[in-house]
Amino acid sequence: MAGGVSLATNPTTAVELAPRHPSGLRLKNPVMTASGTFGYGTEYAKLVDVEQLGAIVTKAISPKPREGNPGPRTVETPSGMLNAIGWQNVGLEACIRDYAPIWRRWRVPVVVNLAGFSVEDYRTVAEALSATPGVAAVELNISCPNVASEGTPFALRADLAAEVTAAVREVCEVPLIVKLSPNVTDVVEIAAAVHAAGADALSLINTLVGLVIDTRSRRPFLGNVTGGLSGPAIRPVAVRMVYEVAKALPGVPLIGAGGVMCADDALQFIMAGARAVQVGTASFVNPRAAIEVAEGIEAFLAREGVADVNELVGVAL
């Protein structure tokens, strides 16, 4: 103590995202990467020390490899970007063969994001990955269209979201995170349904559907017509949704995502009720963004005399 100011020199930054799960999901700091913006981790491992992250979330994995949508697949927008990658990925088999052995050696939990077009797709991938050493947890990207329900994304209807969550829960041995879409009227309804169906934690938000028209060609700019809006433009929407879910479902572990560029942004999510955050679009600007967010949170705690980051979770509620 100096001059009455308490300085927590070594604040605790560890967070637990799956307290009800036997193996838990403990992160050494509350900063994760966001799916689709950090590859399989291996690409960035050449540039940054990935073991300084709280966790890595991979690009979505589907049962079979996918080439994704026709280009252009990304376009810059004010304070953000639109993307329509279309779940391009190496597929389950290559994921298990080529990447999991690398993840197993890393001292950072790797969470695999899952994509599927049917309940069976999700079950197949979740079952195989949850039995694969090197996979610490899975995150269901339920924004994929469900072929059995005329292409309605699972994330948009509470019954579909709960159905896929419950089906995966049955076969999934590792902690299960379900990622929510912002493209709904009432995110709390979906969050409650998914949690009741067995999700250990909820991540929110995925991208907002947007459209950019190229006025020279007079056509939609993206090959897929619409795309997902990410980056700082969506942050206030994301913070509001975390806040609403945290208020309605106290104690449910939440992971905030949407436009986190710096520690202050991450702290907004934490104060709104998130135990952890994901850094996405920012990694395209600066590959060290997520690590710098983690360092910035620790510096904030030390400066403010907060001994444990968990003390800040939901303080704004």
- Element (DSSP H or E) covering residue 269: helix 263-271
Question: Long-range contacts made by residues 219-225, C-beta under 8 angstroms, separation at least 24?
Answer: 221/72, 221/75, 221/82, 222/69, 222/72, 222/73, 222/74, 222/75, 222/82, 222/84, 223/69, 223/70, 223/71, 223/72, 223/73, 223/84, 224/69, 224/70, 224/73, 224/84, 224/86, 225/84
Tell me if 113 contacts ligand FMN by CB under 6 A: yes
Q: Which is nearer to ligand FMN, 190 or 282 (CB)?
A: 282
Joined tokens for residue 129: 């990955």
Residue (11 or 231) nearer to ligand FMN, CB: 231
> Site residues for ligand FMN, window 234-263 (CB under 6 A)?
234, 257-260
Query: Could you say whether residue 85 binds ligand FMN (CB under 6 A)?
Result: yes
Binding mask 148-177 for ligand FMN (x = CB under 6 A): ------------------------------
- Which residue number, 190 or 260, has a Cβ lying nearer to ligand FMN? 260
The smaller minimum CB distance to ligand FMN, of residues 11 and 30, is found at 30
Tell me whether the omega of the peptide bond preceding residue 102 falls within 30 degrees of 0, making it cis: no
Yes or no: say if 92 and 119 are a contact pair by the CB < 8 Å rule: no
Q: Please identify which residue in 15, 28, 56, 59 interacts with ligand FMN, judged by CB under 6 A.
A: 59
Q: For 70, which DSSP code?
A: P
Q: How far apart are CA 269 and CA 277, in angstroms?
A: 7
Which of 69, 83, 130, 224 is in the footprint of ligand FMN by CB under 6 A?
83
Q: Locate tokens 């001059």: which residue? A: 3
- Among the candidate windows 6-14, 24-32, 159-167, 229-237, which touches ligand FMN by CB under 6 A? 229-237
Assess whether 95 carries a catalytic annotation: no
Helix pair 119-130, 158-171: axis angle to 10 deg: 30
Question: Which one among 28, 123, 179, 275 touches ligand FMN, defined by CB under 6 A?
Answer: 179
User: What single-letter amino acid sits at 300?
Assistant: F
Closer CB to ligand FMN, residue 56 or residue 306? 56
Binding of ligand FMN by 141 (CB under 6 A): yes
Question: Given the rule CB under 6 A, which of 7-15, 121-129, 181-189, 226-234 is the region that contacts ligand FMN?
Answer: 226-234
Residue nearest to ligand FMN (CB): 36
Contacting residue, 13, 29, 37, 69, with ligand FMN by CB under 6 A = 37
CA atoms of 45 and 234, how far apart (whole Å): 28
Task: State the virtual CA torsion across 55, 24, 155, 234 in degrees, nearest 10.
Answer: -40
- Give the one residue of 160, 230, 269, 301 binding ligand FMN; rule: CB under 6 A: 230
Instruction: Give the Cα separation of 189 and 195 in Å (integer).
Output: 10
How many residues of this chain bind ligand FMN (CB under 6 A)? Answer: 25
Residues that bind ligand FMN (CB under 6 A): 34-37, 59-60, 83, 85, 87, 113, 141, 179, 206-207, 230-231, 234, 257-260, 279-282
Give the active site residues: 144
